[in-house]
Structure formats: structure tokens, C-alpha cells
Amino acid sequence: MLNFKEPKEINLRPYQADAIENLRNGIRDGKRRLLLCAGTGAGKTLTAAHLLQEADRKGSYALFIVDRVALVDQTSAVFDEYGIQHGIVQGINDRWMPNENVQVCSAQTLARRTLPRDPAVIVVDEAHCRYKATLEYIARHPDAVKIGLTATPFTAGMADDWDDVVNVIPTRKLIDDGFLVEPKIFIAKSPEDAELGLNSYGEFSDSSASTAGIQIVGDVVQEWITKTREEFGGPVKTIVFSPTVEHGRELCAAFSAAGFNFQQISYLDRSDEERAEKIAEFRRPDSIIDGLVSCGVLTKGFDVPDVKCGISCKPYRKSLSSHMQEIGRIMRTHDDKEGALWLDHSGNIERFGVDMFDIWENGVGELSHAAKRDSKPRDRGEHVREKVVCPECSGTLRGNTCMACGWEKPARSGVVNVAGEMHEFKPQEMLMEPRPGLRADCLKNPRMVWDAALFFTSERTRKGEDHARRWSYGVFRDIYPGQKLPFGWFDAPIPQSVDPSALALIDREVKRFRKNSRRAA
């Protein structure tokens, strides 16, 4: 392919360079199958492009495997932009050049086609999908270095596919550093779980979600009109995630009746070309398409950075990964984008919000633990909803305090969602339950308790600051059993003053621990 533009140079961000070094350390330790895990927008594809560029310079044969045609074209365009010569292994493609050192491969075509050389490096995009053909191809090349890219390594069995995981950077840090846009999230009217049937995998069935969702199509359109006007002054580029093609048609018709051009793309499209044309038009800055309604085709790898609004209409019972992949579509930065909006008409924020914010703050953790996150059904009963909605004014709870009216949540209060109204959901920390039997107002504010613990131990330790922090963490974990510190707390500066009631709590807890230790001795 002729490219008359001067290729761009790959300039890695510091955390991307660190991730590559951690991958190399794993390879030096004899690990040949490594996951590179980072949230949407962290630049996993560009990081992999740097690795493939280095392989090309060394004359090594390297493959980048994706699972759908649109991602073949998207990845190829990125490689062209950075001057990485490559061939394409996908159907009948004009860029079938198998002797190039770098190959962008469709997983389906690769399973049926023979290449002239054995690969030294295999990069698997969206590795959480666990395609049988790709896993078999990897197994046939034991000497190759395999690197899987994913934001959500939650699929059962992934711990068997990969030797280790390299966690690149928490999503919260990407947001704070300006590499991602944090969406403003609103909880909207959605079907109740009792209206949704289950399929054979224990997930909500698409047909039941479609039937229930069609009943609130008018609410979806009206809330979009209202919220985009309030947040942006009018309509903005939008992606809608729909459970079925029928539901998507109803949405497109309802938006059209309101005067807006929404186009559906789905797995039932007549041709890949038709879908590609719609996506190409949608990418244009002055696109005539206001929104795309996706049924099963835009949940991963889709990159249109100037999309400002996402609408969730497909409920999930267990699939945290699908929910996080969807919301990640609107979090990329763009020159004309100062904010993003997520309208939840599925109940997914109520089911997965706590887990999602934990991962944003702390990363996915160990692979063996992460791989279980998609196997547990989530509840959205009253005890879950009370973490989200203020019962006094239907405002948004940030931690335990309503940001609208200042109401503070007492222990285990009962809260009922208000059907048909939207409520902003923007917690800055997880709701932490103290140890049963503890009673103190300061327990409603875990950060206040942590600051008091850090102040207390730093004043009393004789072993230095590191010991004070570890001692504080032990005290904190005893007060809030099983909880992790949110990102940034452990290394935060030692406070100069703290709440007296929180300090008294820490003093009592340390004395209790010492008394119990003496009894045990």
C-alpha cells in the first residue's frame, strides 16, 4: 500500500514503557504467555505496535490477532500511521503479503491458512474472548512469546491460558492524568430483574430484555434529549447498546420520530461493507448520523474518540466485562471533548458499579481472582440500590453523603429507587462495611479513619514511616475487614491534624488488639 504521509513516531507514555519492561522481565523469568492488562484508552494497541516494530527491526516474524474484520482494518490503519510495514491475513484481502515480518490476522482466517514462517511473537487482542482456534494456534507454537491484550480478564479459564498478568495502570490514574474522560453517570428507568428471563448460561436472555426494554423506548429517547441538552447544550454523538435487532429497530424508529438520525448495526447486517460505511460516516466530525445502535458488534475495540454519550439498554446479570467494555467506548479523550455522559437504562450500574469502581481504583489484581468476576450473578435489590440513591431528594450518593442535600446515610438504611427518574452515580470511594459491633459516626467516612490511623501510628512508631503505614493498614483492615485501600491512600502524605473521634477510635482499636494479644499469649 502506498503511503505518502510521513509516518509518526511511537512515543510511549512512561507507564507504557514500564509495562514493556515488566513484560520483558516476565519473559526473562521463562514466562511465554503474558497478559497486558489496562483499561480502555490506556494505549494497549500502541504499546503492542511498539513491540511489533521492534520485532520487525530484528527480522522476527510477528502476528497481531483480532477477532473481527472491523478490527483488522482499524489495527492496520494504526500500523500504517506509524510506518509499520505489514501484511493482512483476512479473507481475500489486497494486502495479503505473508512474507512481511508483521502480520495483522483475522482469527478465523488464521485458523484456515498456512503462513511461510513460524511466529516468534504472537499478540492476541481482546484476549478475554478465549477463541478456541486462537488458543489452539498458540498451543502449536510453544516457543513463541505470546502477549494477550485485555481490559477485562474476567473470563473463566483465563488463568489456564496465561502464565501471568502485567497490570499497566489503574483507570483512576488515567482519568486523573487526563488520558481518559470520566463519564457522568445517570441511573434511569429500566426493566426490573423479575421481568427478565435467563438463558442456559444463567445470563439475562436477550429476548426477555428486548420485550421489557421496548416498553421504555420512549423514556430512553426523552432522557437522551433532556440530558444531552443539560450537559452539552444539545445532541451529541451517541452509542446505544441494545439486546436485540428488534429492540434496536424500535429505538431507531423512536429517535427518528423525534427528529434524530440513529442507525443500527448488528450481527445481522447484510454485509460487512454496509456496516463499514455506517461506521465510516459516524467517524466524520460532521457526521449526519446522530447515533449508532449496536446489537453485539461495538462492545470491544471500537474507537471513535469524539463519542460523548453512551446509552445502556442491554442488561447483564454476570458479565462485568461486557458492562465495562461498553462504558469504555465513551471514555477516550478528544480535542473537542470535555466530558462524557452515560445513561443507564439496564440496571447494570446498580449491579456492577461497586466492582467497576474498585477496578478503576485498584486494577484487576491477581489473574486467578480476576477470572472469577464474570461468574457471579449480581443482585440489584434494595441493599444494593441504597448505595446509589438518596431517599430524601433522589440525588446522588458519593460515599455516604448526598451531594445534593447533604443527607448522611445511617447504618443499613433502606432506600427505594424512584422509577423513571435519573440520578447521577459518581462515588469517589467504595462503600465499606465496618466490623460488626463497631459504633462511631466517623465509620461512615473510611478516609477519615485511615487518616487517623496514619496520624496515630506515625506519632508512635520507632521504626520509620514505612512501618507506620503498614501498621496503619493492619489497624484499618481490622476495622473494615476484607477491604482494600482505594488507589493513592497508602502513599498519601501523613496528615497534620485529624478528626478527634476517629483518633479515639484508632486508640481504642490498638488497645483492644494489644489486650487480645496478651490474652492469647
The domain boundary residue, chosen from 142, 170, 198: 170
Q: Are residues 190 and 118 in the same domain?
A: no
What's the rounded Cα separation, in Å, for the pair 311 and 293?
A: 9
Q: Are residues 201 and 333 in the same domain?
A: yes
The domain boundary residue, chosen from 404, 428, 452: 428
Chain-centre distance for alpha carbon 134: 23
135 near 30, Cβ under 8 Å? no
Q: What integer pLDDT is reported at residue 444 of this predicted model?
A: 85
What's the rounded Cα separation, in Å, for the pair 499 and 486?
A: 20
What's the rounded Cα separation, in Å, for the pair 366 and 361?
A: 15
Residue 475 resides in a domain: yes
Q: Are residues 479 and 412 in the same domain?
A: no
- Give the closest residue to 52 by CA, choosing from 26, 25, 87, 28: 87
CA angle, 499 as apex, 497 and 501 as ends, to 5°? 140
Segments forming the whole domain that contains residue 118: 14-170
What's the rounded Cα separation, in Å, for the pair 465 and 457?
A: 9
Q: Are residues 271 and 418 in the same domain?
A: no
Residue 374 resides in a domain: no
8 near 83, Cβ under 8 Å? yes
| Interacting residues of 335 by C-beta distance below 8 A, sequence separation 6+ | none
Q: Are residues 56 and 84 in the same domain?
A: yes
Residue 322 resides in a domain: yes
Helix axis angle for 14-28 and 44-57, nearest 10°, is: 60
- Give the closest residue to 88 by CA, choosing from 74, 76, 104, 99: 104
Residue 110 resides in a domain: yes
All three cell numbers of 458, joined, read 506515625
- Give the closest residue to 204 by CA, choosing from 100, 419, 352, 422: 352
Q: Are residues 192 and 248 in the same domain?
A: yes
Q: Are residues 354 and 213 in the same domain?
A: yes
Q: How far is CA 220 from CA 215, 252, 390, 464, in A?
A: 10, 11, 22, 56
Chain-centre distance for alpha carbon 74: 20
What's the rounded Cα separation, in Å, for the pair 463 and 472?
A: 13
Q: Are residues 272 and 156 in the same domain?
A: no
Please tell me whether residue 124 adopts helix, strand or coil conformation: strand
Q: How far is CA 306 from CA 70, 146, 503, in A?
A: 18, 32, 47
Q: Are residues 87 and 222 in the same domain?
A: no
Residue 6 resides in a domain: no
DSSP state at residue 297: S
Exposed, middle or buried, 230 (CB in 10 Å: 0-12/13-18/19+)?
exposed
Q: Count of domains in the chain?
A: 4
- Give the closest residue to 243 by CA, choosing from 348, 382, 150: 348
CB atoms within 10 A of CB 53: 18
CA angle, 269 as apex, 264 and 270 as ends, to 5°? 135
Residue 201 resides in a domain: yes
What's the rounded Cα separation, in Å, for the pair 145 and 141?
A: 9
Q: The domain that contains 141 carries what CATH number?
A: 3.40.50.300
Exposed, middle or buried, 66 (CB in 10 Å: 0-12/13-18/19+)?
buried
- pLDDT per residue, tens digit, the chain (521 aa), is 445 568 889 999 999 999 999 999 999 999 999 999 988 778 888 999 999 999 999 999 999 999 877 788 889 999 999 999 999 999 888 999 999 999 999 999 999 999 999 999 999 998 988 889 999 999 999 999 999 999 888 888 888 899 998 888 888 889 889 999 988 888 888 898 889 998 888 899 999 999 999 999 999 999 999 999 999 999 999 999 999 999 999 999 999 999 999 999 887 776 777 888 888 899 999 999 999 999 877 655 567 889 999 999 999 999 998 899 899 999 999 999 989 999 999 989 888 887 887 888 888 877 777 777 888 888 887 666 666 665 553 434 555 654 334 567 664 333 333 445 555 554 444 468 899 888 888 888 898 999 999 999 999 998 899 899 999 999 999 999 888 887 778 888 888 888 888 999 999 999 888 887 776 66
Which DSSP string corresponds to 356-399?
Answer: HHHHHHH----HHHHTTTTSSPPP-SHHHHTTTB-TTTS-BEET
Residue 3 resides in a domain: no
Residue 370 resides in a domain: no
Q: Are residues 280 and 186 in the same domain?
A: yes
Which DSSP string corresponds to 212-276?
Answer: HHHTTHHHHHHHHHHHHHHHHSS---EEEE-SSHHHHHHHHHHHHHTT--EEEEETT-S-HHHHH
CB atoms within 10 A of CB 22: 16
The domain boundary residue, chosen from 373, 407, 428: 428
Q: Are residues 268 and 220 in the same domain?
A: yes
Which DSSP string corresponds to 388-426?
Answer: TB-TTTS-BEETTEETTT--BPPTT------TT--EE--
Q: Are residues 189 and 325 in the same domain?
A: yes
